[in-house]
Amino acid sequence: MSLTTYWLEHAWLGTHVEPGVTLEVTDDGRIGALRTGAETPPPGAEVLRGLTLPGLANAHSHAFHRALRGAVQVGSGTFWTWRELMYRAAQNLTPDTYFALARAVYAEMALAGITNVGEFHYVHHAPGGTPYADPNAMGEALIEAAAAAGIRITLLDTAYLSSGFGEAPNAHQQRFSDGTAEAWAERVGALKARPHALIGAAVHSVRAVPADQLATVARWAEERRAPLHVHLSEQTAENDACQAAHGRTPTQLLADHGVLGPRTTGVHNTHLTDVDIALLGGTGTGTCMCPTTERDLADGIGPATRLQRAGSPLSLGSDSHAVIDLLEEARAMELNERLRSRTRGHWTANALLTAATGDGHAALGLPDAGRLEAGALADFTTIALDSVRTAGPLPRLGAETAVFAAAAADVRHTVVGGRHVVRDGHHTLVGDVPSALADSIAALRS
C-alpha cells in the first residue's frame, strides 16, 4: 500500500540527474516504486522542486561540541588547547541539558539535509564518574533527541578508559570512563535499538583504551554485527606516544587486536604510513573524513585519495560542528586535495555525493539507506536550484552544483521515512531552531 507519492523535479540517481521522477512511499517508510519520465506531477503528488538527493549521512558527530562554535575561535593554539575548552563544556552536561542541546543540533542537521547521524558518544556519567540511576541516561537522551528532531541515529557508544596509554582518566575524563572494557560492554548491552536508532560501538582512540582491552570492544561489535568506529591518527603526538608505548603505529596496534574490518570506520586517518594505508584498505576498514573540523583544529589533510584507492570506503562527518554542512564537507575533501597536489578533479561530484549518502549510511549500519531506488528507506532531501548560489547551471549539472556551489542554506525539504521533517526550509517538529540552539547553549554557561 502506498501512503504518499512525491514528484521530484530533478533527482540524483547515483550516476546522473534525472528530470521528472515519481517516488512512492510505502506504509513502512520505504520507497515502493520510482519512475522516470514524469514530465508533470501526477494528481495528488507532493511536489519537490529543485534537486532531490538521498538523505545525507553525518557519519561523525559530537553533539555537545556545537556549544563551542565561536567560543573556540578566539586567539590561537592547538588541538590540545582546544581540548581543554571542550572539557569545560562537557562538565556542564546533564541528561536534561544534553537532550535539549542535541535536539536543537539534530534539528540543525535536518535543516542541512542530514537524515542520519553517527553520534560518537562518550559523556556517559555524572561529573566525577558516578553513574546516573539509569547508567545509560545520557545515551538515552541522545536517542530521544534524534526522535524529537525527526532524524535517525546510530549511537556509537564509546569506550574511553584512560587519559593516555594506561594512565588513569584525568578529572575531566572521569565521567567518560566505565573503568574497564568489560564494564563498558555490560552497560552498553542494556541499550536497545529502536525504529529510528541503532546501537554501535566506538573505541575513542588508542590512547584512551588500553591495548589489552581493545579486543573486548571489537568482540562486542562483532557479536552484534554492529558498526565500530575509532578516532585514528588525528594527531602526530598520538602516533609518537603509541610508538613509544607499543613500538607500532595506532593502525598497526588496532590490527593486532582485531579492531579493523569492513564494519569498522577510522575517523580522520590523517597521519598514516604506507603500511597503515595498506592495512586499512586491505581489511576494508572505512575512513570518515571531517574536513571542516580537521582544518579548524589545524590537524592536517588526510590521504583520502590513497585510502580509497587502497580499498577504504569514504564517508563524511561534521565532528565538532564548526559548521553543519555535509555539502561543504564533500567540497572541502576535494578542494583540500587540490591544494595539496596542485591538480584538480580527484573525485567526481557523483563520487563525493556517494560518500555523503550511501557510503556514509553504510558506515552507520544502514546499507538500505542513501539511495533513491525501490526498497531503500524513504529518506531524501531537496536542494534549491534557484538560490543565489545555485541559479544558472543546467539542471543536468545538479550534482556538480550541489557539491561545488550549494550550501546547507539551500536545503528546501528533508524527508525521513516518507515524512516531511523539513518543509520549505522550516523544521516541522522544532518550531524555532535558532532559539532552541541559543537557549540550550546558554544553559551550559549558567
CA atoms within 13 A on the CB side of 26: 12
Paired with 203 in beta bridges are: 159, 230
Active-site residue, selected from the candidate residues 178, 276, 319, 410: 319
CB proximity list for 380: less than 8 A, separation 6 or greater: 23, 52, 53, 54, 55, 115, 372, 414, 415
Whether 212 is catalytic is no
Rounded to an integer, what distance in angstroms lies between the CA atom of residue 429 and that of residue 413? 13
The one-letter code for the residue type at 14 is: G
**Read out DSSP for 365-402?**
T-TTSS--STTSB--EEEE-SSSTTT-SS-GGGHHHHH
309, 311, 312, 315 alpha-carbon torsion, rounded to 10°: 70
Rounded to an integer, what distance in angstroms lies between the CA atom of residue 318 and that of residue 364? 14
Rounded to an integer, what distance in angstroms lies between the CA atom of residue 121 and that of residue 157? 5
Crossing angle for the helix pair 433-445 and 95-111, to the nearest 10 degrees: 150
Whether 229 is catalytic is no
Paired with 235 in beta bridges are: none
CA triple 206-210-213, angle to 5 deg: 110
- % helix / strand / coil in the chain, to the nearest 5? 40, 25, 40
For residue 19, give the 3-state DSSP assignment: strand
The one-letter code for the residue type at 307 is: L
Grid cell, residue 244, equals 613509544
Active-site residue, selected from the candidate residues 229, 257, 268, 321: 268
Paired with 17 in beta bridges are: 12
- 3, 57, 103, 366, 419 from 357: Cα distances, Å: 24, 5, 22, 11, 18
- 128, 135, 325, 389 from 393: Cα distances, Å: 56, 53, 21, 10
CB atoms within 10 A of CB 386: 12
Rounded to an integer, what distance in angstroms lies between the CA atom of residue 107 and that of residue 151? 8
Which residues are marked as active site? 268, 319
